[in-house]
């Protein structure tokens, strides 16, 4: 479905999302964005955006093309510096921190992990994404060979576990370049989890992925939220996915937060309907 239509949530998907969503917040916001502004010359890309993402929730960020969604993602994760405003993750101000330090705190955006290296096996792509590997430093190979080997075994075991979880285990020794587009999306998702994040930001996870692999990715999101309490913030143009998956939806329009609420509230909001009908 195009991003110019606000579809009603499918009955089956809505029921699934409600089953997996707690009735109350899991301990308050894990991410707090307050009055964030980002300009590019004379263009005001993000205009005083304010939103909260509850710990353990699945939150969608939607809006017409050019609404500022990707720019706001880039500001939150440190790729762009905000011109004004505050961004707090787990109570810590991160608005001036670089992306790698934000990732160490537990907030990972899928493309923060280096893109899959086509001429490298899938398992090696996974292992490269793991943080704090002593073998990265030559001195550790000399003075701490035992610890280095143990950590490498742990990383390899974790990588194999995730590949099996994402049904990519049979491809572990294949070059990443032979994977389909959908399989690369799953690999990117799995690689992001190598950093053991508390919160994962996904930019259009359903784009370019076939329905079977898309359903698998959505299932993993449900499982990670239910079993590990992971928080998700995602941008998506497929309104059926948004309405069926998200507990909270934030709508951006010209860089401003136009509306925020449950899928039913957003669907019934006349200002949101007007924006989508005009887009």
DSSP H/E element including 54 = strand 43-54
Q: Are strands 231-235 and 199-203 parallel, antiparallel or unpaired?
A: parallel
Three-state SS at 49:
strand
DSSP state of 116: P
Model-level pTM?
0.80
**220-238 tens-digit pLDDT:** 898 899 988 999 999 988 8
Beta pairing class for 58-62 and 248-253: parallel
- Give the integer Cα–Cα distance in Å for 120 and 125: 7
In this prediction, residue 279 carries a pLDDT of 63
Task: For residue 136, give both structure tokens.
Answer: 């990265």
Q: Tell me the pLDDT tens digit for each residue of 21-69.
A: 333 345 689 999 999 999 999 999 999 999 999 999 999 999 998 899 9
Q: What token pair was written down for 157?
A: 């075991």
Between 181 and 2, residue with greater pLDDT? 181
DSSP 8-state secondary structure symbol assigned to residue 167: T
**pLDDT-based confidence at 5, cuts 50/70/90?**
low
Residue with tokens 């039913």: 264
β 256-261/248-253 pair status: antiparallel
* Cβ proximity of 45 and 39 under 8 Å: yes
Q: Which residue in this structure is represented by tokens 């992306």? A: 99
- Give the SS3 label for residue 7: coil
What's the pLDDT score for residue 276? Answer: 77
3-state secondary structure of 41: coil
- Residue 95 near residue 187, CB atoms below 8 Å: no
For the chain, the structural domain boundaries read 1-113+198-279, 117-194
Contact 111, 203 (CB under 8 A): yes
Q: Which fold has domain 1-113+198-279?
A: Rossmann fold (3.40.50)
Whether the CB-CB separation of 257 and 84 falls below 8 Å is answered with no
- What contacts 274, CB < 8 A, 6 or more positions away? none
Both structure tokens of 206: 């359903």
């Amino acid at each position: 479905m195009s991003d110019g239509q606000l579809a009603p949530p499918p009955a089956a998907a809505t029921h699934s999302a409600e089953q997996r969503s707690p009735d109350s917040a899991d301990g308050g916001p894990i991410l707090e964005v307050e009055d964030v502004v980002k300009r590019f010359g004379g263009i005001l890309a993000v205009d005083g955006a304010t939103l909260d993402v509850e710990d353990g929730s699945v939150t969608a960020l939607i809006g017409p093309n050019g609404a500022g969604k990707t720019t706001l993602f880039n500001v939150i994760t440190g790729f762009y510096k905000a011109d004004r405003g505050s961004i707090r993750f787990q109570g810590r101000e991160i608005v001036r921190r670089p992306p790698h330090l934000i990732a160490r705190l537990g907030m990972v955006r899928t493309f923060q992990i280096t893109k899959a290296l086509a001429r490298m096996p899938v398992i090696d792509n996974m292992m490269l994404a793991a943080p704090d590997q002593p073998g990265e430093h030559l001195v550790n190979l000399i003075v701490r060979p035992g610890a280095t080997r143990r950590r490498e075994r742990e990383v390899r075991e974790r990588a194999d576990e995730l590949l099996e979880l994402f049904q990519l285990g049979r491809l572990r020794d294949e070059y990443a370049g032979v994977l389909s587009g959908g399989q690369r999306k799953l690999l990117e998702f799995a690689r992001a989890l190598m950093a053991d994040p508390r919160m994962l930001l996904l930019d259009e996870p359903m784009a370019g992925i076939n329905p079977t692999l898309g359903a698998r990715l959505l299932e993993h999101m449900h499982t990670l939220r239910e079993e590990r309490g992971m928080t998700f913030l995602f941008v998506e143009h497929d309104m059926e996915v948004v309405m069926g998956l998200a507990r909270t939806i934030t709508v951006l329009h010209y860089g401003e937060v136009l509306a925020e609420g449950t899928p039913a509230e957003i669907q019934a909001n006349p200002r949101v309907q007007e924006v989508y009908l005009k887009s």
